[in-house]
Amino acid sequence: MPSPVDAEQLLRGADLRVTQPRLAVLSAVHDAPHADTDTLITAVRRELGAVSSQAVYDVLRALTDAGLVRRIQPAGSVARYEARVGDNHHHVVCRSCGTVADVDCAVGDVPCLTAADDAGFAIDEAEVVYWGRCPPCAASKTSQVDARQQRGTT
């Protein structure tokens, strides 16, 4: 989480006015990476007291447009926000519980920003979402399969 002075400098550097709602939302996003809007609204209200949901939505839009936060929305999920911006990282999502984690840029023969056919587009970002099960859910799933096998059912 950036210090209050750093957060103010981030806002000013993005040509945004420094307001208490903007500072609170920026702080909440830093404190809870990949949080959904409801979680962020709760955190901001805990810090500031009464603030409208619309105010938080407006601040999130302004921070996203300014490049200070990134909005992600894996298929089948609500929008989530993170403060890790500017590095074209990707995400892994648990199919069971919905946990989201950062994954550094894909590696291999083809860099993640090089498309096999760009159709004439000037590509500036690639979005890759890996799907699977987080360690606790994978362990739980394995335990469920083992229990069924011991009972003779599958």
Give the mean pLDDT of 47-61.
96
**In 10 A of CB 132, how many CB atoms?**
11
Return the CATH number at 120.
3.30.1490.190
Residue 116: what pLDDT? 78
pTM summary value: 0.79
Last residue of a domain, one of 49, 72, 95: 72
Which tops the pLDDT comparison, 57 or 103?
57
The DSSP bridge partners found for residue 35 are 81
Tens of pLDDT along 132-141?
Answer: 999 999 998 6
Q: What is the domain range of residue 110?
A: 87-151
Return the CATH number at 44.
1.10.10.10
Q: Is residue 81 part of a domain?
A: no
Question: In whole angstroms, what is the distance from residue 70 CA to residue 9 CA?
Answer: 18
Q: Look at the chain and report how many structural domains it folds into.
A: 2
Q: How confident is the model at residue 29 (pLDDT cuts 50, 70, 90)?
A: very high
Give the mean pLDDT of 78-98.
90
Please give the C-alpha separations between residue 121 and each of 65, 116, 118, 124, 149, in angstroms, as whole numbers.
21, 12, 5, 9, 51
